[in-house]
């Protein structure tokens, strides 16, 4: 699985307008809804926020991966954004997040959901990838960094 198999350009938001965690999650769910990737915006938002309440999805290296499973999502979908200022996701390393990848998937697609989480996390371990995302001037450049990294 490539990230670009589940991430389309219209689901990239640079910069995110949100300045705090719940607003960022809401904005990224809205991006999926506007792109037609989720059928029930409120159901998807509820699923992601409920998951976030159980344990923070700030995983370190400036990355947060809020995610949820719900019937509002016919297939695995992803939106991604970079906020204007890093947002506190209560990450284990104590660093605020400057890259937020949101995943929504149907309840019966555990395998692809877990694969996507792994595919998002791996490149973030590489400093050059994080730097290139941080320096991307707009959504198009941000998407191209992801796409070029997968070649």
Residue 16 has pLDDT above 80, yes or no: yes
In this structure, of 10-14, 91-95, 112-116, 130-134, the range with the lowest mean pLDDT score is 112-116
In this structure, of 2-16, 108-122, 125-139, the range with the lowest mean pLDDT score is 108-122
Specify the pTM: 0.93
pLDDT tens figures, 61-115: 899 999 999 888 889 999 999 999 999 999 989 999 999 999 999 988 778 778 8
Residue 49 pLDDT level (bands cut at 50, 70, 90): very high
Percent of the chain with pLDDT over 70: 99
Q: Could you tell me which of 99, 75, 111, 109 has the C-alpha nearest to residue 149? A: 99
Please give the structure tokens belonging to residue 69.
């499973």
The 8-class DSSP code of residue 42 comes to H
pLDDT tens figures, 36-46: 999 999 999 99
Pairing of strands 77-83, 99-105: antiparallel
Residues 98 and 84: their CA atoms lie apart, in Å, by 8
Residue 129 has pLDDT above 70, yes or no: yes
Q: Could you tell me which of 59, 49, 104 has the C-alpha nearest to residue 79? A: 104
Using CB atoms within 10 Å of the CB of residue 8, give its burial: 0 to 12 exposed, 13 to 18 middle, 19+ buried. Answer: middle
Please give the structure tokens belonging to residue 137.
């001037």
CATH number for 3-149 (one of 1.10.10.10, 2.10.25.10, 3.40.930.10, 3.40.50.720): it is: 3.40.930.10
């Amino acid at each position: 699985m490539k990230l670009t198999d589940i991430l389309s350009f219209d689901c990239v938001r640079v910069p995110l307008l949100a300045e705090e965690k719940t607003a960022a999650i809401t904005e990224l769910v809205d991006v999926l809804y506007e792109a037609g990737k989720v059928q029930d915006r409120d159901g998807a938002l509820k699923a992601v926020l409920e998951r976030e309440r159980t344990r923070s999805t700030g995983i370190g290296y400036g990355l947060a991966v809020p995610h949820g499973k719900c019937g509002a999502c016919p297939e695995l979908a992803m939106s991604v954004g970079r906020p204007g200022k890093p947002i506190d996701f209560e990450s284990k390393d104590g660093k605020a997040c400057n890259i937020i990848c949101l995943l929504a998937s149907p309840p019966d697609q555990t395998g692809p959901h877990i694969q996507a989480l792994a595919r998002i996390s791996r490149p973030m371990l590489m400093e050059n990838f994080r730097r290139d995302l941080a320096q991307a001037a707009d959504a198009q450049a941000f998407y191209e960094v992801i796409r070029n990294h997968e070649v």
